[in-house]
Amino acid sequence: MAANAEELELKDRIRLIESMIAEGRRTTESYGWTFVFWGVAYYIAIVWTAIYHWPWAWLVTMAGAWVLCWAIIVSKKKNKPERRPGTTIGRGIFAIWISMGISLSLLLPALGFSDRFNQHIFVAIVAAMLGVANGASGMMIRWKAQVAAAIVWWAASVAACFGSDDQCTAVFLVAIFFCQIVFGVYAMLWEARVRKQQEALHA
């Protein structure tokens, strides 16, 4: 009987270790909104380019979106009562997205200035880069929904190499809708559910 109680207590310790390690690694930061935010920014740039045919529309929209996104993240962090500790996975994901952003910010204007830019190349590059970032992040945190978003981006990247300009635009618009807007809203709902669960746990 005593041996059984001791065994139960030891098992309880194992469960405690597992749950606390998972708790420490769990992300409580909300980044689902950034997908929706960037999806809307892409749509603004596409519409701006289509209506006014201004060659700088993408550059200006993306630069503005960078500044606004950074300002929102900084203000959100300032309003938080406690800072979430950094993890290796968190740093890895941040590094992937920042590197992707820098790559696109350098490569796309360079293609434009060298006059080697066209719509198909643009969509193929952007979609492939977003596929890499989503795929790597999704695999790191084992989130199937984000890996699915990566697969859609990769498919869009390949599809952009074929067909007419209009078909290429349609592929891009559809991929943005599913991978930025729909996935972003899904991520926000998922984050809200996790937050509720955590609040209930600590109530």
Partner 1 sequence: MPELPELNPVIHGKLRLALLSLLVGVDEAEFTWLRQKTGSTDGNLGAQLLKLEEAGYVAVDKKFVQRKPQSLYRMTEAGRTALSEYIQALKKLLGGAIGD
Among 10, 67, 161, 189, binds partner 1 (CB under 8 A): 10
CA pair distance 152, 156, nearest whole angstrom: 6
Contact status: 2 vs partner 1 (CB under 8 A): no
47 touches partner 1 (CB under 8 A):
no
CA distance 148 to 165: 26
Terminus-to-terminus CA distance in the chain, angstroms? Answer: 34
Contact 58, 45 (CB under 8 A): yes
Residue type present at position 56: W
Q: Is residue 29 within the footprint of partner 1 (CB under 8 A)?
A: no
- Residues in 66-105 at the binding interface with partner 1, rule: CB under 8 A: 81-88
Mind giving me the DSSP string for 152-183?
HHHHHHHHTTSS-HHHHHHHHHHHHIIIIIIH
- Residues in the interface with partner 1 (CB under 8 A) total 22
> Minimal distance in Å, beta carbon 194 to partner 1?
14
Dist CA 156 CA 23 (whole Å): 36
Rg of the chain, C-alpha, whole Å = 21
Q: Which two tokens stand for residue 161?
A: 């190499």
**Using the rule CB under 8 A, is 197 a contact of partner 1?**
no
Q: Does 11 bind partner 1 (CB under 8 A)?
A: yes
Q: Which residue among 1, 2, 24, 114 contacts partner 1 (CB under 8 A)? A: 24
**Smallest distance, Å, CB 5 to partner 1?**
13
Provide the minimum distance between the beta carbon of 86 and partner 1 in the complex, in angstroms, as a whole number: 5
The residues binding partner 1 (CB under 8 A) are 7, 10-11, 13-14, 16-18, 20-21, 23-25, 81-88, 202
